[in-house]
């Protein structure tokens, strides 16, 4: 566990993690940790949020559900062991282009509204993460609206 957290900030040869490509373990772990953080910010982590994160990670990293679930568990451990978002967001910011960072924000909004409501704590977290990723309030707001619309569409088709 500690080795993975250290690897989150350094690659195998000890160089700064900013030289690592988006598909690396540190990037995956940072993305999973932020998604878990978004899910747990309102004080609970329910099955719907977990399923949403597994689906998002599976689609984004093109991995199967079992591997995505394992990544969620690792992200949860990393999130529990850290009280700072900066390390996770720095890894993502350094590896993604601006439009890809907006996509990550949209994924985070998907998680925040997975339980049917966006709590004030979740909205506050999203503002902080968007700022750390250099995503504008406008782009974050548009990403939020797309996530909310998708959620409403899913709720409507489930009825």
For the chain, the structural domain boundaries read 2-11+24-158
The per-residue pLDDT of the chain, averaged, comes to: 85
Q: Does position 93 have pLDDT exceeding 60, yes or no? A: yes
Q: Please write the tens of the pLDDT for every residue from 23-64.
A: 588 999 999 999 999 999 888 888 999 999 999 999 999 999
**Cβ proximity of 144 and 93 under 8 Å:** no
In this prediction, residue 143 carries a pLDDT of 97
Q: Does position 11 have pLDDT exceeding 60, yes or no? A: no
pLDDT band at 140 (very low <50, low <70, confident <90, very high): very high
In this prediction, residue 12 carries a pLDDT of 40
Q: Give how far the C-alpha of residue 88 lies from the chain's centroid of Cα atoms, to the nearest Å.
A: 9
Dihedral in degrees, nearest 10, Cα atoms 125, 139, 55, 97? -100
In this prediction, residue 60 carries a pLDDT of 95
**Domain 2-11+24-158: homologous superfamily in CATH:** TerB-like (1.10.3680.10)
């Amino acid at each position: 566990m500690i080795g993975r957290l250290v690897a989150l900030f350094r690659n195998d040869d000890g160089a700064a993690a900013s030289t690592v490509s988006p598909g690396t373990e540190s990037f995956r772990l940072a993305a999973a940790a932020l998604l878990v953080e978004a899910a747990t910010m309102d004080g609970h982590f329910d099955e719907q949020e977990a399923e949403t994160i597994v689906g998002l990670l599976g689609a984004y990293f093109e991995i199967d559900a079992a591997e995505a679930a394992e990544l969620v568990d690792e992200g949860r451990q990393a999130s529990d062991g850290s009280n700072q978002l900066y390390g996770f967001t720095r890894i993502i910011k350094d590896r993604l282009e601006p439009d890809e960072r907006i996509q990550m924000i949209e994924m985070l909004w998907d998680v925040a509204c997975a339980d049917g409501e966006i709590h004030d704590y979740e909205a506050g977290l999203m503002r902080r993460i968007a700022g750390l990723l250099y995503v504008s309030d406008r782009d974050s707001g548009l990403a939020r609206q797309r996530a909310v619309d998708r959620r409403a569409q899913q709720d409507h088709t489930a009825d």
